[in-house]
Amino acid sequence: MNLNAYIGLMGGFFRREEGPDGTILRPVADRADADFVVSDSDYLLTLDADSLLLRDYCLRLVYFLEQPDNARVAVTQTPYSSFRGAPTRIERLAGATTDIQHILHQGMSHYGATFWVGANAVIRKRALEDIVEVETVGGFEVRRYVQDRTVIEDTESSIDLGTHGWTLVNYPERLSYSATPPDFGSLIVQRRRWANGGLLILPKLWQQLRERRRQGHPVSLTELFLRVNYMTSIAWASFGRMFLLAYPYDSRLLSPVVVFAALPYFLAMGSDLRYCGYKASDIFRIYGFNLVLLPVNLAGVLKSLEQAITIKKIPFARTLKVKNRTAAPLLFVLTPYLIVAFSGLTLWRDVLAQNWGNAAFAAFNLLLAGAAILATIGLWNSVVDVWLGCTRWLCVERKPRAASPGTAGGQPEPALDWRAVIYHGYAPGAVPAGVDGASVHRHSLQNVRVAS
């Protein structure tokens, strides 16, 4: 049962009725006629399955929301921190990048530009009721509080809440923790999902700008820039980094001023890393880590563009939790090696041409990307993943033998359930045009089972 189903059931009276698919809860107005009563609540706690909360998490955040000055705060949260003492280098590097997010969101909260990070949060139910969308699926009324148009539904809901005059706040304590992916294959699934969806949500931000201007509470330029950067930074940073790697600079284009312009960013990141318990020198490891993840981020951005063109929702890919290592796709294993090879070629050409500035940049990328490959992927794991990627297409699943007409696996074809057809408007297993079958099954059978 998902969040939309829970909220739809809260605060209602229901009577049990038998339907074609089992027991149905039909809402009634009078408590005396109800067989099942669901209590209402002012707040909801959302929590990922792999996240852990400190014991006073709800006490602190609910107390914060109860303060009169915070009456228009819809969501308060503490973006999760990584567990200390991770056994592998890839977990420590991935954990460092997520720990910095805790500091970034505090600064964004100061300017009213923070986003809901879906791993955990305390949400005011009244705020969700302001952004609810109601639709009818299979004869049932479905209330959708959190939109799943993209795979980063928490970011989209943040924009929806802001359009209705609500704010979000990052609580300045570390109260939640979560494990980071232990291998490169599972990290790819997570980071490709994070890179997908920001560009699709951006038009909603312009709608929020118009609505808040109409309400007399215009968005400040600082808030606007922070929100745009949060939703689009992976896109422009990935394409920009690819351009920097590929373009043949010379001394006329690569000025020392460019290097000094990036210096404040690296100094600030080094300071944040020290504050989070890491070394300031980890900024170089994270730089190489981002080079290795460049094809992953580009794949997520391209998926967003694909959805924008085809209007076909990208499936949600959960981060794998397996006992052994998750194999990485062939493209994402080979591309980091191509970056190293191209950086080596660029270094050799620039040394011959005495283009020392670009040669230093190529050597920098060569060294850090190579070290990141050893730390995050590993040479032997790379060989295994490349072998699996090259040979996987040779393996063909054996299809079951086709049954004779009118039979299914040797058994007579079951008769059509006309009672279900009349009740739902379509046969079991069939899906009406324009309706997603999985959502129909989920909403009408598993979720609320509440008749309109």
Query: Per-residue pLDDT averaged across 175-186, rounded?
Result: 88
* Domain annotation covers residue 205: yes
- Domain holding 305, by residue range, is 3-394
* Domain annotation covers residue 222: yes
- The single residue listed with the structure tokens 């707040």 is 43
Question: What is residue 80's predicted lDDT score, i.e. its pLDDT?
Answer: 86
Confidence band for 2, pLDDT divided at 50, 70 and 90: low
* Domain annotation covers residue 87: yes
* Domain annotation covers residue 234: yes
Name the domain count of the chain.
1
Residue 12 pLDDT exceeds 70: yes
* Domain annotation covers residue 428: no
* Domain annotation covers residue 254: yes
> How many percent of the chain have pLDDT more than 70?
80
Low-confidence winner among 156-160, 417-421, 433-437 (lowest mean pLDDT): 433-437
Instruction: Measure the CA–CA gap between 272 and 102, rounded to whole angstroms.
Output: 10
Low-confidence winner among 349-358, 361-370, 405-414 (lowest mean pLDDT): 405-414
* Domain annotation covers residue 339: yes
The CA radius of gyration of the chain, in Å to the nearest whole number, is 26
Q: How many residues does the chain have?
A: 452
* Bridge partners of residue 45, in order along the sequence: 122
* Domain annotation covers residue 426: no
